[in-house]
Amino acid sequence: MPDTQSIFQDFTNEWITREDGLPSHQIHDVLCLNKMLWMSTPNGLVVYDSEKVKVLNQKQGLLTHGIRTLTQDNNKILVCSDRGVDIIDSKTQQLLNQVSTVEQGLGWCQTAVKIASNRYLLACANGLRCWDVKDDSVTKLDSLLDKEFIISMAGYGSYINLILGKGSGLWLYSNGVLERYSPLNLADYGTIRAIIQQGPWVWLITDSVVVQRIKISCTRAES
């Protein structure tokens, strides 16, 4: 068994605080891309390059300063917030596109995942939607999730996406088809409360604090 101390001896801790320029001590999400650390906070989007902290907000064209989650799409970052989604070029830090889910009557956008070129699933407070960036349209996918609070999503491109609705539970979206997903071995663990993605694995947090792993594949979800 490897020595834990030897594994971590080459790593150093670095603290980033309000004194360094953080707009808040509360960090909602973190993404590392192009040697930059991106952090979502209630008071703006933070970009840290190991030397200085930069905060992006409405002054740079973002919909709001209340940032919820961050998702990577190649060199682009989907910034989900209390008012919608901003797409930012991670290299230039310039705003590329945006959509206001509040103006669409959907409330905040909790997270977004890519399902095709220029198309994204949006998990909103008042339903699941598909955003086509090219023609700037927001459309419904299924009437059952039309008004439901979408807690979270996870997935890769157009292959497979897992969607968690507050009232209806787990759904599977694949190749344009949305259907309920109910693995038998998850029933014993209680209600699923959250989806957390780490690499090719999705971690399901349930009532009994049991973490169930589901591997994302191009054909099906393997529990």
Instruction: Decide which of 79, 98, 117 is a domain's last residue.
Output: 98
The reported pTM is: 0.85
Q: Alpha carbon 216 to chain centroid distance?
A: 16
Strand partners, 17: none
User: Looking at the structure, do residues 216 and 129 belong to the same domain, yes or no?
Assistant: yes
The pLDDT score that the predictor gives to residue 197 is 78
User: Looking at the structure, do residues 127 and 219 belong to the same domain, yes or no?
Assistant: yes
User: Looking at the structure, do residues 62 and 163 belong to the same domain, yes or no?
Assistant: no
Residue range 111-148, pLDDT digits in tens: 999 888 899 999 999 999 999 999 999 998 877 788 89
Q: Give the residue among 203, 197, 153, 198 at the shortest CA–CA distance from 178.
A: 153
Place of tokens 């910034």: 79
The pLDDT score that the predictor gives to residue 130 is 93
Residue range 45-99, pLDDT digits in tens: 999 998 899 999 999 999 999 999 999 999 999 999 999 999 999 999 999 999 9
Instruction: Decide which of 40, 66, 98 is a domain's last residue.
Output: 98
User: Looking at the structure, do residues 119 and 200 belong to the same domain, yes or no?
Assistant: yes
Residue 146 DSSP label? S
Instruction: Decide which of 68, 98, 128 is a domain's last residue.
Output: 98
CATH classification at residue 106: 2.130.10.10
Residues spanned by the domain of 83: 1-98
User: Looking at the structure, do residues 63 and 21 belong to the same domain, yes or no?
Assistant: yes
Contacts for 172 with CB less than 8 Å, ≥ 6 apart: 160, 161, 162, 163, 178, 179, 180, 181, 221
The pLDDT score that the predictor gives to residue 217 is 52
User: Looking at the structure, do residues 47 and 127 belong to the same domain, yes or no?
Assistant: no
User: Looking at the structure, do residues 146 and 65 belong to the same domain, yes or no?
Assistant: no
CATH classification at residue 13: 2.40.10.480
The first and second tokens of residue 169, run together, are 């539970």
For the four alpha carbons of 100, 106, 110 and 111, in that order, the dihedral sign comes to negative
More confident residue, 173 or 197: 173
User: Looking at the structure, do residues 172 and 118 belong to the same domain, yes or no?
Assistant: yes
Strand partners, 78: 71, 87
